[in-house]
């Protein structure tokens, strides 16, 4: 094969690869767009409530128990997000919603919201990527049985309106966050926290709090147990 013929073949191969890549990207873009779950196109999913302007990105993570989910207007949920109500698909969970997500919320890529009894997320809550929120944990009190085989314990979770949950945070059963609480990335949150504070750490504790008279400040050491009743 001559050098000229080899160059022509190489150029044709490169052009074919570029064309194939463009076709693949276009096809994937079409799949992503048409695979989204919205109030106008919920597909086979039957939510308790799916508000106007809601969008759940494609690909979706695990999604079941939709009849016991309420998702408020304008909430945007990223790709690979898991939303579950109940232990397994097809269970009867009673007359009340198990997972409530308010209006105007954002839930980032790869996050999990796993509800068994009650998880309530207020309006305009922002949840960064890879956050895990659950109201159920395994018990470990029986030393003769594997922890994974021991009965779970449920405690309701409440996240107040306007909160920000940083990347990689873990919100455990029994957590109750007031309004406009910021959770630092990577924190492990359990217990009760008041309105307008910054929490962080493992376990999470209050780092700063807001007082209408004095503004933002670090709480005094003796006040920490009063402000944040964690891991009780």
Which residues have CB under 8 Å from 32's CB, separation 6+?
57, 58, 79
Active site residue 45: no
What secondary structure letter does DSSP report for 151? P
Give the other-Cβ count within 10 Å of 205's Cβ: 20
Q: How far is CA 47 from CA 36, 37, 69, 76, 220, in A?
A: 15, 11, 6, 15, 46
Torsion of CA 37, 43, 45, 49, to 10 degrees: 60
Distance CA 136, CA 157 (A): 9
Please pick, among 34, 45, 80, 145, the residue that the annotation labels catalytic: 145
**Helix, strand, coil share of the chain (percent; to 5):** 20, 30, 50
For the annotated catalytic residues, the residue numbers are: 145
């Amino acid at each position: 094969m001559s050098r000229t013929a080899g160059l022509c073949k190489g150029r044709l191969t490169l052009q074919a690869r570029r064309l194939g890549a463009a076709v693949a990207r276009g096809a994937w873009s079409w799949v992503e767009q048409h695979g989204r779950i919205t109030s106008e196109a919920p597909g086979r999913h039957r939510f308790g409530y799916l508000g106007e302007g809601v969008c759940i990105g494609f690909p979706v993570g695990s999604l079941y128990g939709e009849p016991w989910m309420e998702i408020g207007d304008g909430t945007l949920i990223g790709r690979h997000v898991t939303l579950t109500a109940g232990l397994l698909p097809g269970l009867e969970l009673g007359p009340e919603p198990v997972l409530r997500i308010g209006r105007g919320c954002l839930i980032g890529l790869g996050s999990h919201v796993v509800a068994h009894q009650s998880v309530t997320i207020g309006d305009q809550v922002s949840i960064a990527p890879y956050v895990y929120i659950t109201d159920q944990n395994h018990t470990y009190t029986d030393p003769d049985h594997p922890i994974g085989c021991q009965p779970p314990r449920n405690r309701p979770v409440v996240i107040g309106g306007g909160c920000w949950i940083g990347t990689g945070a873990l919100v455990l059963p029994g957590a109750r966050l007031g309004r406009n609480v910021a959770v630092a990335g990577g924190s492990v949150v359990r217990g009760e926290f008041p309105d307008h504070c910054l929490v962080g750490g493992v376990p999470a504790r209050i780092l700063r709090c807001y007082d209408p008279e004095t503004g933002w400040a670090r709480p005094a050491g003796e006040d920490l147990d009063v402000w944040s009743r964690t891991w009780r």
